[in-house]
Structure 1
Amino acid sequence: MIILKDKTITDVPGFTSSGIHSGLKKNKKDLCVIFSEVPATSAGVFTKNKVQAAPVVLDIETIKHEKSQAIVVNSGNANACTGEQGLENAKFMAQKTAQCLGIDEKSVLVSSTGIIGVQLPMDKISSGIEKACSSLSVDGGDDSAHAIMTTDSYTKQIAVQFEIDGKDIFIGGIAKGSGMIHPNMGTMLSFITTNISIEKDMLSNMLKDSIEDSYNMISVDGDTSTNDTVIILANGLAGNKAVSKEDDSYHKFKEALDYVNKELSKMIAADGEGATKLIEAHVLNAPSKEEAKLCAKSVITSSLVKAAFFGNNSNWGRILCALGYSGAEIVPDKVAIFFKDDSDSIQIAENGIGIDFDEDKAQKIMKSGHVIITIDLKMGDYSATAWGCDLSYDYIKVNAMYKS
């Protein structure tokens, strides 16, 4: 697999995109359209929050159709908690996009992100969709990545290339997310394009499985959004034999998709509102995969752990505490804990108690931009990884002023 540096969703053959300013925000791009030149096999995964935004409600039904061809996304307004009018507005976005592109309304998926509880200004949305559809370009992927941002400080983009059946397969992805991020799919949006030929049930099952070890293993603040959405479009233009079973082609594509989703997930976690570092919790030797995931997520979501890492405070007791209330079956007296960065590592606890360690070395590791907490449960053969960030003063500043 080749990582395509500085490439994005429109570097996948057969896809164009655009990102424009429609007026939902004062002076930033706020609306995008992603378009496949041919109808594409589609799959989606959506928030588990019982309060679901209008676009999510609409997409859950639309994604059932065999093919999709376009995605229209706005930022600045979540179109959530907006009642029947909000649902009608989401439907209008699909209708307007379909009309502008000359495609079936049922082949258009809709997504929104931003402030909750405010109706969309449909005059701006309508003219914005016209502008975005007329601006589609093979160079438009970066503009799309900017247009879906809210409190993000940078875009999240990735593209990879590999071969199946002697054909070049590409996967590109863009994502947004900085706050209201928590496992169970925060506000987190991800849109993935690929030119592989694959049957819909295969793609759907693969995506659902992939998000369990990627997006559902990240947390910024413990809040699960009303709008979480991951959508993948596979246009089949690679010309490979359609993937219809879990064979070598399936597993090769799945490995690449997992990589894309995990990298986007780490970008989201690292860009948590007010964050100064990416924190990775890696749990080893758990009695089951589920126990490993419970432990990793509990550590990464702990406010006390997150605050300690902001202060570069090697308070390992908070980590052990989070393991204890995770719901996983652990034996505290067996647990070992290590800190690691890109160049060094240090052990700070063994058999559930602290050991002598070099505090200066620990401080140096904790001050790096990417810190890995390795937790050895010594109870089995299973592992899991979760990603999050520290909890800083700036998180409070951002969210104290973000109106709903």
Structure 2
Amino acid sequence: MNDVAEAVTRAHHGEWARVVATLARRFGDLDIAEEAAAEAFATAVERWPADGVPPCPGAWLTTTAVRKAIDRIRRESKRDDKHREARIVHGDTPAEPLGAVDDDRLRLLFTCCHPALAPEARLALTLRLVGGLTVPEIARAFLVAEGAVGQRITRAKAKIKAARIPYRMPSAEDLPERVSGVLAVLYLVFNEGYLATGPGTGPVRQDLTAEAIRLTRLVRALLPDDGEVTGLLALMLLTEARRTARVSASGELVALDEQDRGAWDADLIAEGHRLVRERLTAAAAGVAPGRYQVLAAINAVHTSARDMRDTDWSQVLALYDRLVRLDPSPVVALNRAVAVAELDGPEVALALVDRLAEPLAGYHAYHATRADLLRRLGRSRQSRAAYDRAVELAGNTAEIAWLTRRRDRLG
């Protein structure tokens, strides 16, 4: 039974978005696509323990989901247009052209990132349907309540129906106006894989990070001159390069200053550095870097240092100063404070962190950062309380183990 459950979970991670993309394209209805996909996975949970895991789980899920969709269409409506859409599955009607993108998942991603949708709703909908993230995972990514995410997804679907937004791949000319939304989705999907927050998952979800990198490479092939696409790819590669060193054999997170840098992937680092240099050359020519390019440059500084003590913190802080102007969010301000601590000391940094108490009250990394600064200042009792709050809010098992150990070492 455990093997079957693992197979279903593995199939969900790898096949959810592809199944939804296939059904959305064929039936032109996101509600039908998502619900039929969910029914197919539920059927797998029921049948695979008795029948065994099929040789091609993805094909089995797609076929089952298509049948579920057709059954629902026939139950709910006998309108001719719905039946014509259903007959596409059986080959009675030729499929529509694929457009500028021939990857099924990326095509749905660009389709969902329609400019008529509000940015927050667009992101939530696309993360759910294309990224395959759950509503709780999306809520943690946005630092908002789960109910708010559900409302955003509902509003996005309602807008699509009301505005009669077609489920078709935009043309090549439409891609530039949609690419920022696509990059935002890919960035959040990668982050969920980099430090998974869902219960019952491993601390790192390589399926998500690998897929985000694959899709970003495809976007770069479509838009090779877009600096932010290149910047995001560089950021992902430099982050992914450290994956094997980020979790210990005992399942505990390994902080950057404790990682074995010899275990980092040298090829990914070299590729990431090359992409960062490419964007620096463009910046020297007068093309101002965007958010992802600056984040990639920060990671390039970290991955260039042979040891934590060799890190050029002055350069890191200068880059964060630039990033704050592009993205004046509390999370960026929190990360900047970490660099300030290395240059000006923990007391100066703590004053900056304490200003973020209200917007980041529910963010575990805020309390973890504050706990470390208090520890460095010798304020053990307050540090312990901050670690307790960080452990309470953290959703990643490896991170909880790391925070707990650091708290218990306070004495």
TM-score range, shorter chain: 0.3 to 0.5
- TM-score norm. by structure 1 comes to 0.34
More helix by share: 2
The TM-score normalised by the length of structure 2 is 0.33
Determine which structure has the larger strand proportion and give its number: 1
